[in-house]
Structures are given as C-alpha cells and as structure tokens.
Amino acid sequence: MIAQHTCFDCLQRQIQHFSSSLKDQNLDVCLATQKILAPLRIAPPVDSAPPQIAIDVYENLSTMLGVSDPFLRIKQESMCKAKYALKAILGIFPPPLPNILDFLESDLSSLPVSDLPSSDSHKEKLLAWAIKVAVIGNVIDYGSQSTFSFEEADFDPLGLEFAFFDINGFINKIQNARIMLYLADNAGENYFDEVLLATLKILYPTLAIYYAVRGKPIINDLTMADMSGDARSIERFCTLLDSGVRSPGFVYRDANAQTQKIFDTSSVILAKGMGNFECLESYKDERLFLLFKIKCDVVANFLGIPRNKMVFKHNI
C-alpha cells in the first residue's frame, strides 16, 4: 500500500499532538516536521508504505529531544493500563473453554487433558474467541489518524464487527504448521496477544512461535526493551524476536538476517496492526494473515470498508 497525501497530514497531526505535551520545544518540533514533510508532499515516494515515511520524522523528533525513545512514558502507561483493560474484557467476554484463564496465569502443564477442546467445532470457537481478544488490543494506537486515550477508547468485545474473518483458512494453515511468525504492533497489545499465543499453544502444542517486535523505538510500537517485568510472561508461549525493523510496519529488507530467515521458513505469518497491513498488503502469500482494526480513512477507502471495522484477512 503506497502512502497518500493524506498520510503526510496524519504524520503532521501526530507530531503536533505529541509536541503539545512538551514544555518548550513545541514550535521547533512542529516546524522541523513540516520541513521534513514538505519535499515529500511535492514528490511523494512512489514505492513507500505510510509507515516507511514515518522513519525520518520520528528519528528527527528523537534527535531534537535528545532522547532515544520519546514515547517511553506513554508506552509504560499503556502497558499498565492495558493489563487492567484486558482483565475487564475477560470478565464480560470469557473463553468458551473452562480453566483457560487459570492456564494463562500459570503454564502449559496446568491445563488438564480432560479440559482440552475435543471437537473441531470447540477448537474453532476457542480460537475465534482468542483472535477477537487479540484484535481488541489493536485499539491501542498513538500513531493513528484519531487521537487515542484509554479513557475514551472502545474496548467493547461484544460490539466487534469484522469485515473479514478468515478463520477457516487460518485453521487449515496452522493445524499442520511447524513455525509461526507473529509480527507484533503496539505497547500494551502484547497482553492481548498473549491470550492468542496461549490458545495457539493449547491447540497446537508442537507449534514454534516467534513474536517479533521493532528493532528500535518508533511511536508506541513494541521493542525488546519494552518487554520487561511481567510482560516477559509471554515467553511461556513464544520466543521473543528483535526484528531489526525501524518503521511502524514490517519491511522485509529492513529486517535483520535472523528475522528474514524465520520469515522465509515460517509456515504461518500473522501480522498484527494497521502498520503491518500497510507494509505487507501487497505481499500476496498463502502463509500471511492480517489482523487489525481500521483506524484511518486512507485504509478504509483502500479496502472499501468503513472505519472501526475489524479485519482478519488471509492475504492471498
């Protein structure tokens, strides 16, 4: 998906909103961003996805502020608030299988064999539930068209509307898969992703899962540094992977050699979030599934689907 003129306006608004919280560099940051975006508006790059044009803008922000991770405080707050949001969601949207929540608090050995889903329909219901929990986490986004706050965000699991829900294609691929690459998105979403990862390990215990985060800080995207403390509980179900990618969307040529190898050899690739969609939409591959909430007009118009719809799409 190629960046549109509207994408530059969106980037400008992101920086303006962030810089409004600064005490003394607000104007300087905004003017510098305008200077970076001006030539791109005149001659937009013909082969760059929206997340790729964000790299220079946010690297400039980091340089001007003299900090490597300008959104660190926001990410830390997001991680904390996301845990409470998830707990509330699971209270009104419980899993269709007893004891799953106990399992999430312990390890793989805590779930009795007798509690495992026994039929294909039960397995599908459990997986569908976990996918819905995971995509609710994609509401968290400080790099989208609209200003985000936890207080005003819609985390309602009962009102989810999917434009695509390609679960049958996903099951067909995952049931015989050896390796899965899960491309992560924003800080705080990891707790929601953990529910899906745990469910996948229940259903497919021999599946090796790699959870890939960004290679350096950009906006509120997850990095290895963010995956500390209780966030590392996700490692019960997957292997954490520093992708090396600098943009808020997965770009294969920007990934490090290890991630490229895992990408090439994975049986299934699940890309979470709109930035990953924007970068991978043109990459048609029977292994690739896209899971995100539509949060901007450019993506909505591109897909012909209204904003705020959820998407779980087999990218073939």
CATH value at residue 91: 3.40.50.10880
Neighbouring residues of 139: CB distance < 8 A, sequence distance ≥ 6: 148, 153, 154, 155, 293
> Is the CB of residue 193 less than 8 Å from the CB of residue 234?
yes
Domain membership of residue 230 (yes or no) is yes
Same domain flag for 99 and 50: no
Question: Could you tell me which of 293, 233, 263 has the C-alpha nearest to residue 105?
Answer: 233
Express as a percent the part of the chain with pLDDT over 70: 92
pLDDT of 60 over the 90 cut = no
Mean pLDDT of 263-272: 99
* Structural domains in the chain (count): 2
Local structure of 111: helix, strand or coil: coil
pLDDT of 146 over the 70 cut = no
- 156-165: pLDDT as tens digits: 899 999 999 9
The rounded distance, in Å, linking the Cα atoms of 29 and 18 is: 10
At residue 11, φ and ψ (nearest 5 deg) are: -60, -45
> Is the CB of residue 207 less than 8 Å from the CB of residue 174?
yes
pLDDT at 310: 97
Same domain flag for 119 and 225: yes
Q: Please, which pLDDT band fits residue 35 given cuts at 50, 70 and 90?
A: confident
Q: Please, which pLDDT band fits residue 64 given cuts at 50, 70 and 90?
A: confident
Question: Could you tell me which of 275, 223, 268 has the C-alpha nearest to residue 248?
Answer: 275
The least confident of 50-59, 115-124, 211-220, 283-292 is: 115-124
> Is the CB of residue 93 less than 8 Å from the CB of residue 157?
yes
Same domain flag for 237 and 169: yes
Same domain flag for 33 and 144: no
Domain membership of residue 70 (yes or no) is no
Same domain flag for 158 and 302: yes
Q: Please, which pLDDT band fits residue 26 given cuts at 50, 70 and 90?
A: low
Same domain flag for 139 and 274: yes
Local structure of 214: helix, strand or coil: strand
Strands 162-165 and 179-183: unpaired
> Is the CB of residue 95 less than 8 Å from the CB of residue 127?
no
Q: CA of 62: how far to CAs of 32, 50, 216, 311, in Å?
A: 12, 19, 11, 32
Domain membership of residue 123 (yes or no) is yes
pTM of the model: 0.93
Domain membership of residue 75 (yes or no) is no
pLDDT of 24 over the 70 cut = no
Same domain flag for 48 and 196: no
CA 206 and chain centroid, separation: 24
> Is the CB of residue 145 less than 8 Å from the CB of residue 10?
yes
Neighbouring-strand partners of residue 207: none
Domain membership of residue 277 (yes or no) is yes
Domain membership of residue 76 (yes or no) is no
N- to C-terminal Cα separation, the chain = 15
Torsion of CA 160, 291, 233, 242, to 10 degrees: -150
Same domain flag for 265 and 170: yes
Same domain flag for 45 and 123: no
Domain membership of residue 79 (yes or no) is no
Q: Which of 9-18, 24-33, 190-199 has the highest mean pLDDT?
A: 190-199
Structural domain range at position 51:
5-65
Sheet of 310-314: strands edge to edge? Answer: 162-165, 310-314, 288-293, 268-272, 179-183, 208-213, 239-242
Same domain flag for 216 and 157: yes
Tokens of 14: 């992101």
CA 226 and chain centroid, separation: 14
Same domain flag for 284 and 180: yes
Neighbouring-strand partners of residue 163: none
Domain membership of residue 72 (yes or no) is no
Same domain flag for 61 and 201: no
Half-sphere exposure of 147 (CA within 13 A, CB side): 9
